[in-house]
Structure 1
Amino acid sequence: MSKRPPRKSPWSWRSRAFRGLVYQLVAVLLLGVAAWFLWSNTLTNMRVRGIQSGFDFLAQPAGFSIGESLYAFDSAESYLRAFGVGLTNTLRVAIAGVVLATMLGTLVGIGRFSRNGLVRGLCSAYVELFRNVPVLLQLLVWYLVLTEVLPPIHEAWKVGAFFLSKGGLNFPKPVWGAGEAWLGAGLLAGIAAAWFWRRRARRHFEVTGRARRMFWVPLVLVLALAFIGWLAGGAETVLDYPEKGEFSVENGGALTPEFLALLLGLTMYTAGFIAEVVRSGIASVPAGQAEAAAALGLDRPMEIRLILLPQALRVIIPPLTNQYLNLTKNSSLAVAIGYPDIVSIANTAMNQTGRAVECIAILMSVYLTLSLLTSAAMNWYNARVAIKER
């Protein structure tokens, strides 16, 4: 009877897993030592030169005002709150830019497959124009258009209740009360109902092959429940309308030319790349899928929505994530046109306090966190929409 070979100990150097663990621990230790050495050396050199260090300045009064903010900010408030204002301004333009660039880029990408030659040509020209002009130059062009081409404030263009001038875009703003709260509750309920409808419609299509309305029915649900909420709140909606004064447009809401220039520049630039991502994703679907859709009697919009796009998403989502990250990071160019994003706030704080290392560390942490959160959300969505192979 033959003897069984001796079992390897998991802690033996002959174990590949154990050796790999040791190598990883050594690599992490070396990286930690290098980081500690660089940080310690930096602090020592700063101390020798009489440069203060630390994050205690965040609790000190900022001493400067911010021209644009989602909430009130006073110069007597702390640097920490000033950084919060800059972060909200960055998130505002980044989120709006992602939504608008996705919608515009998807339309342009699909338009590249239009049977209409004029539509195809316009979409191709859009991609080649906006994708090949540097984004900083586009921001400067949009800012020049908004501040030089538009009329002065006292001659603002009026379209309905909207005013457009060198001072930006002014629009009616709702005055929130009990009625508006009911309207918001109805809107949220409508969004939830639309989501459930789309989910059931998708399952119904997978089981029976019969497509249900995936756009109009959810839209009706959202509008109907929002209207019901508005009625439940007393059917009263108070709007604060802008009024043109002698030197400015007063009341209502306002979007500054800096914000509009940044939003337009980032949206138009990123949409060109997203259009190419969508085009390449649709082109990767075998031609037989389109022929099968035509054989089933599906029209072109249903063919793209039900057959081509679901299969193309496997190719579209990974590079689309990169475009979202690029848009968020490109928003740091806002300092060139005077929009007070987090980079602008950090530059001001750096000049006033001399805490360059700390301010740069805050910027790196913010953009790293935003990028990781965006990547995690897109990876989750990619796994959710991935076609499961049988």
Structure 2
Amino acid sequence: MFQRRPTVKGDLSFSNPAVRAWLYQIVAVAIVVGIAAYLIHNTVTNLNNRGITSGFAFLDRAAGFGIVQHLIDYEQGDTYGRVFVVGLLNTLLVSALCIVFASFLGFFLGLARLSENWLLRKLSTIYIETFRNIPPLLQIFFWYFAVLRNLPGPRQAVNAFDLLFLSNRGLYIPSPQMGEGLLAFIVAIIVALAVSAGLFRYNKTHQIKTGQLRRTWPVALGLLILLPAIAQWAFGAALHWDVPALRGFNFRGGMVLIPELAALTLALSVYTSAFIAEIIRSGIQSVPHGQHEAARSLALPNTVTLRQVIIPQALRVIIPPLTSQYLNIVKNSSLAAAIGYPDMVSLFAGTVLNQTGQAIETIAITMSVYLIISLSISLLMNIYNRRIALIER
């Protein structure tokens, strides 16, 4: 039998496994650096041969085109840098809306799949198996072309109390305008939340020591209503509302949610909620059945059992795949370019790239933004996952 030669301390020969491991890593790093240097040199050479300037100076040039939806003030004469901010905010808006809606819808669908009601269980199963097996781009087309574009025009818009108007131009809603009492209103809400949080911790400590349960939510709700109301009465209205009105062929005033935003939000929320529902269902089923029986033996109601016993344990299984679905929402939001929603891809990697020819810079900025957003979501979800983790002692 062959015997492995023992490693001698200080042996720098190639037969030493540690030396070989370091050499392999050094060679691998050198190859990667060499390939990167070649690609960079080749790119710079080709750009110089074609007379294409590189750099980010184009961000200070005037864009010269309009944007349908912008969360900040924007005019055609603004710079490409401001276009970048507008596209970033639009991407964050649709991503945040889809994450919230998909989470709520997926949670209730996941519970419905475990319901004892036969009809509710079958309907949720049909929903999940239907929408998660249709590509998201086709769902976006369905909501945009088949539903929202077939709504009536502005003159025949669906009217709700002369405040909300729904047409094929979008959903027009009142727009909040800052009032003189806004600062006092915000301070009142912060104080109410701080007092409610302190009261909740005090009641929790009291329950642990004495076993007596004190409800916090009535006092918290009263503070959240009473303190802002007093602030409004003493310092004036916090907000004024600009109500949309039909003038000519379209509505003026207020705030509009364009059909592209609605279609993208509906499609991605419905699509992702089907996957989240299965994550919720599997997470709940991963909790040992003995936990259900123990809660039932204590005569706990089903809602209390689910909220206090099952869900906290199921979160250990739910959070990691749920993070992946949130990341998928952010990445799938780039499909907005298919229907003309002004997000990062449509504006910066589309219109700006075509006007300036700065392909490397625009694509690099867009990729970096999506990378930073995804890493930020992963970081926040991992922090939350560590906080709720059950530590076995």
TM-score above 0.5: yes
Segment drifting more, 187-196 vs 171-180: 187-196
What amino acid maps onto 2:252 in structure 1? E
Q: Map Cα deviations across residues 213-269 of structure 1 (whole Å, 9 max, x no partner).
A: 586665554444433443343356532212223311221121111111111111111
Shift of 1:26: 5.1
What amino acid maps onto 1:109 in structure 2? G
What amino acid maps onto 1:349 in structure 2? V
Segment drifting more, 206-215 vs 335-344: 206-215
> What percent of counterpart residues are identical?
46
Residue 155 (structure 2) aligns with:
154
Whether the 8 Å CA contact 1:67–1:340 is kept in 2: the answer is yes
Segment drifting more, 217-226 vs 360-369: 217-226
Q: Map Cα deviations across residues 64-120 of structure 1 (whole Å, 9 max, x no partner).
A: 221110111122222111111100110111112111211111111122222222222
Task: Report whether the alignment pairs 1:266 with 2:268.
Answer: yes
Task: Report whether the alignment pairs 1:352 with 2:350.
Answer: no
Residue 126 (structure 2) aligns with:
125
Shift of 1:315: 0.3
Segment drifting more, 283-292 vs 144-153: 144-153
Residue 4 (structure 1) aligns with:
none
Residue 299 (structure 1) aligns with:
301
1:387 and 1:201 map into 2 onto residues whose CA distance is 23
CA pair 34-199 structure 1, distance change in 2 beyond 3 A: farther
1:349 and 1:70 map into 2 onto residues whose CA distance is 19
Residue 50 (structure 2) aligns with:
49
Q: Map Cα deviations across residues 111-144 of structure 1 (whole Å, 9 max, x no partner).
A: 2222222222222222112211111111111112
Task: Report whether the alignment pairs 1:374 with 2:377.
Answer: yes
Counterpart of 1:165 (choices 158, 167, 177) is 167
CA pair 49-165 structure 1, distance change in 2 beyond 3 A: same
Whether the 8 Å CA contact 1:187–1:222 is kept in 2: the answer is yes
Residue 287 (structure 1) aligns with:
289
Q: CA RMSD in A?
A: 2.9
Counterpart of 1:252 (choices 254, 277, 294) is 254
Q: What are the equivalent positions in structure 2 for 1:174-185 lying under 5 Å apart?
A: 174-185=176-187
Whether the 8 Å CA contact 2:149–2:259 is kept in 1: the answer is no
Q: What are the equivalent positions in structure 2 for 1:51-200 lying under 5 Å apart?
A: 51-160=52-161, 161-196=163-198
CA pair 206-40 structure 1, distance change in 2 beyond 3 A: farther
Q: Can you give the 5+ residue segments of structure 2 that lack an aligned partner in the other structure?
A: 1-7
Whether the 8 Å CA contact 1:325–1:371 is kept in 2: the answer is yes
Whether the 8 Å CA contact 1:8–1:15 is kept in 2: the answer is no
What amino acid maps onto 1:316 in structure 2? I
Shift of 1:329: 0.6
Whether the 8 Å CA contact 2:183–2:238 is kept in 1: the answer is no
Q: Map Cα deviations across residues 129-173 of structure 1 (whole Å, 9 max, x no partner).
A: 221111111111111245433111111111122111111111122
Count of residue pairs the alignment pairs up? 385
Shift of 1:270: 1.0
1:387 and 1:325 map into 2 onto residues whose CA distance is 25
Whether the 8 Å CA contact 1:191–1:222 is kept in 2: the answer is yes
Shift of 1:369: 0.7
2:284 and 2:216 map into 1 onto residues whose CA distance is 20
2:205 and 2:134 map into 1 onto residues whose CA distance is 44
Residue 5 (structure 2) aligns with:
none
Q: Map Cα deviations across residues 14-48 of structure 1 (whole Å, 9 max, x no partner).
A: 99888766755554444333222211112212322
Q: Can you give the 5+ residue segments of structure 1 that lack an aligned partner in the other structure?
A: 1-6
CA pair 296-60 structure 1, distance change in 2 beyond 3 A: same
